[in-house]
Amino acid sequence: MKAFILFLLFFWIASLGIQAQNGSIMTVKGPIPASEMGLSLIHEHVLVDFIGADKTGKHRWDEKEVVPVVLPFLNQAKELGVKTLVECTPAYIGRDPLLLKKLSESSDVQIITNTGYYGASDDKFLPDHAYSESADQLAERWTREAKEGIDGTGIRPGFIKTGVNGGSLSELHAKLITAAAKTHLETGLVIASHTGPAVPAFEQLEILEKEGVHASAFIWVHAQGEPDLDMHVKAARKGAWISMDGLDNSNVEQYVQMLENFREHGFLHQTLLSHDAGWYSPGEENGGEFRAYTTLFEKLIPLLIQQGWAEQEIEQLLVINPQNAFEIKVRRN
C-alpha cells in the first residue's frame, strides 16, 4: 500500500513538470494548445529598459503608468487580428512577467515571455553571475524558471531568449548559447537569439549541434541584418528558423524581396515575421515614443496580396510557423 502511494506521488510530481507538454505553448497566463496561438507577432516589445543590468529593476517603472500607455497598442493589434504577441525583452533589460500578465488580461492578447540572458551590446545587460557561473549552472537557473516560474510569480517562460554580438562569438557568448542548448534539452523551449549577421548565426548553430540540439530549435533573430540572402537559405537548409523581425514603414519592399527569396527556395515554412516594435522606455517622459505593431497589416500584407501571394502563404507565415516554432518540444539532432 505504501509503495502504491509512493508510486502515485511520483506520478503526481512528474505530472507537475509536464503541464507544458508537446503540442502546447506557454503564455504568461499558462499553457495553451499550440493550435490556439493564432495569428502571432513573434518579436515585439512592451517595455525595454536600456540603463544596464546593474541599475535596472522594477523600481524603474510604475505599472500604473505603463499599462495605460501600452494597452491601446495591444488593443489595436488585437483589432487587426493578432491573437498572440511574443515579448522578446529578456531579464535585466526590462522583462516584467507580472506587467505582461496584467496587459494580457486587460487586452485579451496572449503574451509569451522568456528566460535566458542577452549578451549583445557588449554584455551591458548581463548580471555578474553570468560571468562567474558555468553553462550548466546558467542552464539550471533558466530551467528552474521554465519549470517553477520567474521570481516566485509562477509565470513561466515560453522560449529562451539570448543575444550575441555581430562578430565571431566571444567565449562568454559561446557559454550563453551552450547554456541555452542545455536548457532546451531540459525544457523543449525554442531558442531565439538576437544575432544579426551570418557569422555568429552559424557559430551558434555549431554549438547547438555539438550539444545534440537540432537547428530547428534555433530562431535566427534579426536575420535581415545579413545582406547575403544565400546565408538565410543555407541556415534554413540546416533546419533553423529565419526571423525577419524589423519590419517598419521604410523597409516594406525589402521584406517582400526577402520573402520572395524564401518562397523561391521552398523555405516559407521556416520564415518568421515581426516588427520589433513598441515600447515603453522607463526614464523617458510618458515612456517616450511608442511604435505601433501595425506595418505588417497596413503595408506588407496588402502589398503581398497585390503581388499575387496566396492567403494560404500568408497564413503559413503568421499562423502556422509561429505555432511550429514556439511549440514546446525537444528537438534533438
Residues that bind Zn ion (CB under 5 A): 88, 276
CB closest to Zn ion, residue no:
276
Q: How far is the CB of 248 from Zn ion (least distance, A)?
A: 13
**How many other C-beta atoms lie within 10 A of the C-beta of residue 12?**
9
Among residues 227, 168, 222, 208, which one has the least CA distance to residue 330?
208
Instruction: Give min distance, CB of 291 to Zn ion, in A.
Output: 11
Which residue lies nearer to Zn ion by CB, 88 or 229? Answer: 88
Minimum CB distance to Zn ion, residue 88 (Å)? 5
CB of 51 to Zn ion, least distance (A): 17
Beta carbon nearer to Zn ion, 53 or 135: 53
Please say which residue, 20 or 258, places its beta carbon nearer to Zn ion.
258
Give the separation between CA 209 and CA 207, rounded to whole angstroms: 5
Output 20 or 247, the one with its CB closest to Zn ion: 247
For Zn ion, the closer of residues 24 and 89 by Cβ is 89
Chain centre distance of CA 82: 16
328 vs 188: CA distance, rounded Å? 5
* CA 294 – CA 248 distance, rounded (Å): 9
* SS3 (DSSP) at 267: coil
Of 53 and 88, nearer to Zn ion (C-beta) is 88
CB of residue 278 vs Zn ion: minimum separation in angstroms?
Answer: 8
- Which cell numbers in the block locate residue 228? 547575403
Q: Of 123 and 276, which has the nearer Cβ to Zn ion? A: 276
Least distance (Å) between residue 255 CB and Zn ion: 16
C-alpha span between 275 and 158 (Å, rounded): 19
Q: Is 192 helix (H, G, I), strand (E, B) or coil?
A: strand
To the nearest whole angstrom, how small is the minimum distance from the Cβ of residue 148 to Zn ion? 26
Please calculate the CA angle 2-13-18 and round it to the nearest 5 degrees: 145
Non-local (6+) Cβ contacts of 96 within 8 A are 47, 58, 61, 63
- Asked if 40 and 319 touch (Cβ cutoff 8 Å), the reply is yes
Looking at beta carbons only, is 88 or 268 nearer to Zn ion? 88
CB 227 within 8 A of CB 261: no
Smallest gap from Cβ 43 to Zn ion, in A, equals 6
Residue-wise burial string across 55-65, b where 16 or more C-beta atoms lie within 10 A, e elsewhere: ebeeeebeeee
Q: How far apart are CA 277 and CA 248, in angstroms?
A: 8
